[in-house]
Amino acid sequence: MIARTNGTPISITGLGCHVPERVLDNAELSTIVDTNDEWIVERTGIRERRIAAEDEALTDICLPAARRALEMAGADPASIDLLIVATVTPDMAFPSSSALIADTLGMPHAAAYDLSAGCTGFVYAIAQAHGMLSAGLAKRALVVGGDVLSTILDWTDRSTLVLFGDGAGAVVMEPVARGGFLGFELGADGGGGANLWLPGSGSRKFAEPEKYVKMNGREVFKFATRVMVSSAEAILGECGRTVADIDVYVPHQANVRIIDHAAKKLGIPQEKTVVNVEKYGNTSSGSIPLALADAADDGRLVPGKLVLLTGMGAGLTWGSALIEWTHPTTGAAA
Ligand code: UT7
């Protein structure tokens, strides 16, 4: 799917993020599996990640992020009439994590549901919220992206354990006078799904069900380097913009090598590229909103700036959004 937006401008008016307290650095990881700081930093750029406590589930991490986003937007929770939570690690299959969050925050008028699109979940969710808002089906939306991947990782598998972390981010979206989202490009290739999957986690029976994430890292790497570029080029073309117009590039934070490759191929300079993978690892659906919040902290998200978001992940899925920033956003750091 690719389209430029039309009709009422819709934008992000509030932004927040949250990560668990516990820091797991590469040195500690190398006491758990056969790895070392040098390998992890050289191959991924990751130095540390956050890990949820035993009693912390997805909604515990999403709630502080959501509260910050609402506060920044000056939005009463009761005014939210749409809540989408993008995740692959909900508290449980049902009720949805979004229904639980809506209840805790006091959103009696909100349609609330979870959305699963792997690490691209947040980009899919903001596109959905945009559609509902611009069609007039909702007036003010809260979109949360978050994951607690530490609960579905094999803590004996060094090839996946070192890559991922836990975290969440949230945005409030609503109609604005001008600017806001210019367009979206979203895609999926289920044929490549087995390169990053959790067979046995649903109704399909497998002879050898897995409890933990399985990944063919090299294939996902090839896929990632391809779609991070093609998706960004597609949305820029659709919206009549060029790479030179981009002020802030917020790529999915999976691996600094993937980010560097995409930025170089696209011709986006380092100073415009947001990178925080070194402190959080890959937080899946939390990755892009966490990076957005870091960009806000740095003072980079000011009204009038053109921001490109591009994600990719399980599905396999990918997606980009182009937004002209409209609202002053202050640091929303964890
Ligand atoms: O949101 C999407 C999520 N997934 C991704 O983005 C993953 C994309 N893929 C990648 O980022 C990279 O493929 C990895 C970081 C997963 C792996 O990097 P690589 O440069 O492709 O390494 P490799 O898989 O080719 O492995 C090279 C070597 C192997 O040893 P041998 O066979 O050459 O002796 C691995 O066994 O590195 C070894 N290795 C490790 N060594 C130390 C694999 N994992 C580790 C580790 N520590 N954690």
CA 217 to ligand 1 centroid distance, Å: 6
pLDDT of residue 208: 82
Q: What is the DSSP secondary-structure string of 142-200?
A: EEEEEEEGGGGS-TT-HHHHTTB-EEEEEEEEEE-SS-EEEEEEEEE-GGGGGGEE-TT
Angle between helices 256-266 and 217-238 (to 10 degrees): 30
* 119 is known as an active-site residue: yes
> Cβ(149)–Cβ(124) under 8 Å?
no
The verdict on the CB of residue 119 being under 6 Å from ligand 1 is yes
* pTM of this structure: 0.96
The verdict on the CB of residue 156 being under 6 Å from ligand 1 is no
Look up residue 281 and give its two tokens. Answer: 């690892």
The verdict on the CB of residue 212 being under 6 Å from ligand 1 is no
CA 100 to ligand 1 centroid distance, Å: 37
The verdict on the CB of residue 120 being under 6 Å from ligand 1 is no
Catalytic residue among 17, 62, 119, 239: 119
Catalytic residue among 17, 130, 282, 327: 282
* 282 is known as an active-site residue: yes
User: Using CA positions, which residue lies closest to atom 12 of ligand 1?
Assistant: 217
The verdict on the CB of residue 213 being under 6 Å from ligand 1 is no
User: Using CA positions, which residue lies closest to atom 48 of ligand 1?
Assistant: 158
The verdict on the CB of residue 282 being under 6 Å from ligand 1 is yes
Catalytic residue among 18, 130, 252, 327: 252
CA 88 to ligand 1 centroid distance, Å: 22
> Closest ligand 1 atom to the C-alpha of 254?
6
CA 160 to ligand 1 centroid distance, Å: 8
- Tens digit of each residue's pLDDT, the chain (334 residues): 999 999 899 999 999 999 999 999 999 999 999 999 999 999 999 999 999 999 999 999 999 999 999 999 999 999 999 999 999 999 999 999 999 999 999 999 999 999 999 999 999 999 999 999 999 999 999 999 999 999 999 999 999 999 999 999 999 999 999 999 999 999 999 999 999 999 999 999 988 878 899 999 999 999 999 999 999 999 999 999 999 999 999 999 999 999 999 999 999 999 999 999 999 999 999 999 999 999 999 999 999 999 999 999 999 999 999 999 998 765 443 3
* 216 is known as an active-site residue: no
pLDDT of residue 334: 37
The verdict on the CB of residue 227 being under 6 Å from ligand 1 is no
Element (H, E) at 112: strand 111-115
> Cβ(68)–Cβ(74) under 8 Å?
no
> Closest ligand 1 atom to the C-alpha of 284?
1
CA 86 to ligand 1 centroid distance, Å: 27
Q: Which DSSP category does 13 fall into?
A: E
- Give the class (CATH, top level) of 1-334: alpha beta
How many whole angstroms separate alpha carbon 167 and alpha carbon 50? 7
The verdict on the CB of residue 39 being under 6 Å from ligand 1 is yes
Q: What is the domain partition of the chain in residue ranges?
A: 1-334
pLDDT of residue 210: 83
Peptide bond into 90 cis (omega under 30): no
pLDDT of residue 331: 43
